[in-house]
Amino acid sequence: MPHVSILCGSVSDEEIAKKAWEVLKQHNITYDYQVISAHRDPDKLDEYIQKSDASIFICIAGLSAALPGVVASKTKKPVIGVPVSGKLMGGLDALLSIVQMPKGVPVACVGVDNGDNAAHLAIRILTLTGFL
């Protein structure tokens, strides 16, 4: 059973995902890594979330970064969102898409391209649970 599920919206986000899993590895935290687009593969994403027994989801996405919010709407577990930088104001589009969630469906947003901190935040949460 992996502790953390790392999801990317696009294969081009893998560099950011790698930052996250490198930190998790250093702390001996197991993870599962998948590339599933919230917009292009909604059914596959639903199924993955339902089947996953990870404690925390790290969702990495650019542009209109819906992935973290969609995951947060389908699970009650903590969801961490990582905005990926792009041409438009260096990633402000992804940042705002991830952080400005409506009341009741929280996403824990970290900095643009900051896959490391997504992992560090997951570690703080897992430490609190006693899993670590």
- Binding-site positions: 10, 13, 40
Q: Is the CB of 33 or the CB of 132 nearer to a copy of itself?
A: 132
Instruction: Answer whether 63's CB lies under 8 Å from 71's CB.
Output: no
Tell me how far CA of residue 132 lies from CA of 1, 16, 24, in angstroms.
14, 24, 12
Distance CA 80, CA 99 (A): 10
- Binding-site ranges for a copy of itself (CB under 8 A): 9-10, 37-40, 42, 55-56, 63-64, 66, 69-70, 72-74, 76-80, 85-114, 116-118, 120-121, 124-125, 127-130
Instruction: Answer whether 23's CB lies under 8 Å from 50's CB.
Output: no
Q: How far is the CB of 17 from a copy of itself (least distance, A)?
A: 15
Instruction: Please give the structure tokens belonging to residue 112.
Output: 């643009």
- Which parts are annotated binding residues for substrate? 10, 13, 40
Instruction: Answer whether 26's CB lies under 8 Å from 74's CB.
Output: no
Q: How far is the CB of 26 from a copy of itself (least distance, A)?
A: 11
Q: Is the CB of 33 or the CB of 113 nearer to a copy of itself?
A: 113
Q: How far is the CB of 21 from a copy of itself (least distance, A)?
A: 14
